[in-house]
Amino acid sequence: MRVAIIGNNKCWHAGRLTAALQSKGIGTDNFLPQMFRASVGGSSGITVRGLALDGYDIVLVRSLPGGSLEQVIFRVDVLHHLEDMGVPVINRPSCIEKTVDKYYTSALLAAGGIPTPKTVVTENYNTAMSVFSEMKDVIVKPLFGSLGLGIVRLTDEDTAHRVFRAWQSCNYVFYIQEYIPHNNRDIRAFVLGSRVIASMQRLGDGWKTNINRGARAESMVIGPALEELCLKTANILGADYLGVDILVSNEGKPYVIEANSIPGWKGLQETTNLDIALEIADFVIAKGGLAASG
């Protein structure tokens, strides 16, 4: 029995998953999505380095790097093709498509009754400035991306003008959210199947709470209400596993601000004795109907 891991085995997460699966007697191979070779007609199939991906019992996506629009669409299409050939894919390409940009994620969650910050998305500079004038204090995020990179808080009209003009010159889309005071903290919960297996709170010196931006991680057990919110989020997105970021306002109201279908857990792992990679391995084995020998 073998699992194909889409991602560089030198990556910390892919390496941990490889070790966890192999410790249970499951063979693994790592493949870079940039090396996909898709054939249609004749001998149709998906190969990398001459190995047929449809010959694996399950495909686990750990990396789907950015690129041109054509490259991104092709890589997701490959995952769809694998599903069409009967290969289970975690997370499913439909889930990845729902979470690949923040606008689509927010729209789906809001429609599903998940509390979401007031958000406006536009390509137009004048519209963006009008939104800023209305909200006064906003967070502007890249439509794609993670780890808190490129996120800007705007409270000054002149600064907003410069930022929006600069982004417009690069053909960026403006994803604008109303700033919600939150005591410089948020919550990351890790959903696996029907459970939240681990969670933490992240404490920042400023409004940014990403660990790679200097925030501190502390272990935290979320209550039933937040757990239900996380599980409902994962259900709406069709996720097998998901990183859910929750911001709790100073008034105590929770908002889901991010949902990552290829979530990292390096910081989270430091706050728990649970081996998250082993938990994912067990889930993959059960999902794929594989028989572990270890």
- Say what the pTM is: 0.90
Mean pLDDT within 73-95: 95
Q: Look up the CATH number of domain 182-261.
A: 3.30.470.20
- Mean of the per-residue pLDDT values of the chain: 90
Q: Residues 243-248: what's their mean pLDDT? A: 95
Q: What are phi and psi of 152, to 5 degrees?
A: -130, 140
**212: which 2 tokens?**
């790679």
Confidence class of residue 292 from pLDDT cuts 50, 70 and 90?
very low
Is the confidence at residue 12, as pLDDT, over 80?
A: yes
pLDDT for res 160: 95
Mean pLDDT calculated for residue range 160-176: 92
Kind and range of the H or E run holding 187: strand 185-192
* Percent of the chain at pLDDT exceeding 90: 74
Mean pLDDT value across residues 98-105: 92
Instruction: Assess contact for 13 and 264: CB atoms under 8 A.
Output: yes
**How do residues 103-153 score in pLDDT, each as one tens digit?**
999 999 999 999 999 999 999 999 999 999 999 999 998 888 655 557 899
Alpha helices in 54-188 (DSSP H): 69-84, 93-99, 102-111, 125-135, 157-169
Q: Which CATH superfamily is domain 119-178 in?
A: ATP-grasp fold, A domain (3.30.1490.20)
Domain assignments of the chain as residue spans, ordered by start: 2-91+282-288, 119-178, 182-261
State residue 148's pLDDT score: 52
Least confident of 183-192, 208-217, 254-263, 280-289: 208-217
Which residues, other chains included, contact 249 with Cβ-Cβ below 8 Å and sequence gap of 6+? Answer: 180, 181, 182, 255
Give the pLDDT confidence score for residue 59 in this predicted structure.
96
Q: Name which residue leads in pLDDT, 66 or 239.
A: 239
pLDDT at residue 209 in the model? 62
- Whether the per-residue pLDDT at 293 is higher than 60: the answer is no
Report the pLDDT value the prediction gives residue 41, as an integer from 0 to 100: 82
Tell me what pLDDT residue 82 has. 95
Omega before residue 210 within 30° of 0, cis:
no
Tens of pLDDT, residue by residue over 247-258, are 999 999 999 999
Query: Do residues 26 and 71 lie in contact, with contact meaning Cβ atoms separated by under 8 Å?
Result: no
Q: Are 185 and 205 in contact (CB under 8 A)?
A: no
Assign domain 2-91+282-288 to its CATH architecture.
3-Layer(aba) Sandwich (3.40)
d(CA 42, CA 126): 53
For residues 181-207, average pLDDT:
89
pLDDT of residue 291: 47
Share of the chain above pLDDT 70, in %: 93
**pLDDT for 263-282, tens place per residue?**
999 989 999 999 999 999 99
- Rounded CA separation 77/38 (Å): 10
What mean pLDDT comes out for the span 12-25? 95
Q: What is the pLDDT of residue 257?
A: 93
Q: CA dist 270 to 83, 216, 217, 219, 282, Å?
A: 34, 11, 8, 9, 20
